[in-house]
Every structure is written in structure tokens, then in C-alpha cells.
A and B are shown apart, each in its own frame.
Chain A
Amino acid sequence: MGVRALGWLAVLALIAGLGTAFGYAPREAVQGNVQRIMYLHVPAVLTAYLAFGFVFLGSVGYLLTRRPGWDRLAMAAAEPGVIFTGITIASGSIWGKPTWGTWWTWDARLTSTAVLFLVYVGYLLLRGMIDEPDRRARAAAVVGILGAANIPIVHFSVKWWRALHQPATLLGPEPSPIAAPIFLTLLVNWIAFTLLLLYLLAKRTEIARLEDMHAG
């Protein structure tokens, strides 16, 4: 029943997030209201990173202890991780169309996030291909650990590669300096997404636990 409460808390926080994003945050001077997509885009990518942190945690936990609960955590985190990564990419792309004129730019964050998306979709595909629980958990854990260790490496390589080809991004996603209302709105939305992730994790691991119980 704690899960249900967490769910409601997440809904409330999301409503608060929407409220701040559309009601409280100011209209941006240069881009206009389309900049409000940032209140979706940035919390989404942060939540995706958190989810992949859980994947790493679950992967290491399983390899060290062999307790299925860790593998369930890794799996349960990968699914929303991929979803939030997808939302990051989609919202970034949709934001980019009116702002930069194209649906896709190889800008550093979009590209890194796209690579992350590919890594973890591969992770889920791998999980789908192995039936035996222990082998699946071990294989996924290794891929998950490498994927997580790769995140900073991908980030820097793409950033430097990007800097080579386009010295300055004229319209960056973050206005600088960050004014208080903008920061607060980002914070509220980030908290809301994190609560949503925790709720989805709790629900997904519970389902996995019950499925294992029925199967074994």
C-alpha cells in the first residue's frame, strides 16, 4: 500500500510540475514559450541517468550476491530509463524544430542521449533473448555495468567531437544565468519525475517478484 501512496504523491508532484512549468515560470525572452519544453527535457534526462544508476546498482548487486532482487531492480530500472531517455530525445527534437529549424542536430546532449538510448535498448533486447534467469541476470549485469561505466566516456567524447565541428551553440537549452523561478520550476519537475521513477520501480519490481514466485 506504500506503493499506492507513492503513486499518488508522484501524481501530485507532476501536477505541481506542470503548474510551475506553465504558470509560474516566465516566458523566455528570445525563444518564447517554446522554451517551456525545457521543464520536461532536462528533468527527463536527469531521471534517465538516475534510472541507469539503479541499473548499475542492481547489476553489481546481483553479481556480488546472486540475490534475484538485485536483478529485478536492474530490469525494473532499465525500462523507465529507456522511456525517459526516449522522452528526452523526443522533447529535444521537438524543441529544436522551431528553435534551430531542424528536427535533429548533432548537438552534444542529444547525441549522447541517443547513444545512451541505443545502449539500453540493446540491454533490454539482450534480456529478452535469454530465458534462463541466472544466465540472463549475469549477461545483463555485465552489459549494464559496461553501459554505466561508459556514460561519462560517451559524454566527453561527444562533447569534444561536437566542439570540433561547431564551436558555439547559439541557442543553448539552458538560459544563462539561471534565474530563481526557472531553477525552482526545474527543481519541482525534477522531483516529480524522480518520484514517478521510484513509483514505477516499486511497481515493476513487485510485478517481477510475483512473476518469479508463480514461475518457480
Chain B
Amino acid sequence: MPDNWSYVFAAYGVAAVVLLAYWRRLAARAKNLAARTARRSA
């Protein structure tokens, strides 16, 4: 059977994109909150 590397990269690619997007959302929210917390205690 041929190797179908495109499918392999598609699968790993989807996983990477989704996880990266979720992590970036988390990181942005965390930064936002850290700034708010700093302003609050300042």
C-alpha cells in the first residue's frame, strides 16, 4: 500500500492546529488576567 504521507500530515496537522489555538486562547486570557490582577493590587 502506498504511504499516504499527506494523510499522516493532515492528521497531525489538525491536532497541532487545534491544540495550538486552544493554548493561545488560554495564554491570552492568562495575560489579560495577570494585567488586571497587577492593576488591582497596584
- Interfacial residues, chain A to chain B (CB-CB below 8 A): 18, 30-34, 36-37, 40-41, 44, 79-80, 83, 86-87, 90-91, 94-95, 97-98, 196, 200, 203-204, 206-207, 210-211, 213-214
A-B contact pairs, 7 of them (CB 8 A): A32-B1, A32-B4, A41-B11, A200-B22, A204-B26, A207-B29, A214-B33
Measured between beta carbons, the chain B residues less than 8 angstroms from A200 are: 22-23, 26
A95:B36 contact, CB within 8 angstroms: no
Bound-state Cα–Cα, A2 to B19, Å: 21
A91:B23 contact, CB within 8 angstroms: no
Bound-state Cα–Cα, A200 to B33, Å: 16
Checking A34, A44, A206, A207 against B15 with a beta-carbon cut-off of 8 angstroms, the contacting residue is A44
B26:A97 contact, CB within 8 angstroms: no
B11:A37 contact, CB within 8 angstroms: yes
B2:A203 contact, CB within 8 angstroms: no
Shortest CB-to-CB span from B1 to chain A, Å, is 5
B30:A203 contact, CB within 8 angstroms: yes
Which 7 residue pairs are nearest across A and B when measured between Cβ atoms? Answer: A34-B4, A91-B11, A33-B3, A210-B33, A98-B4, A94-B11, A32-B3
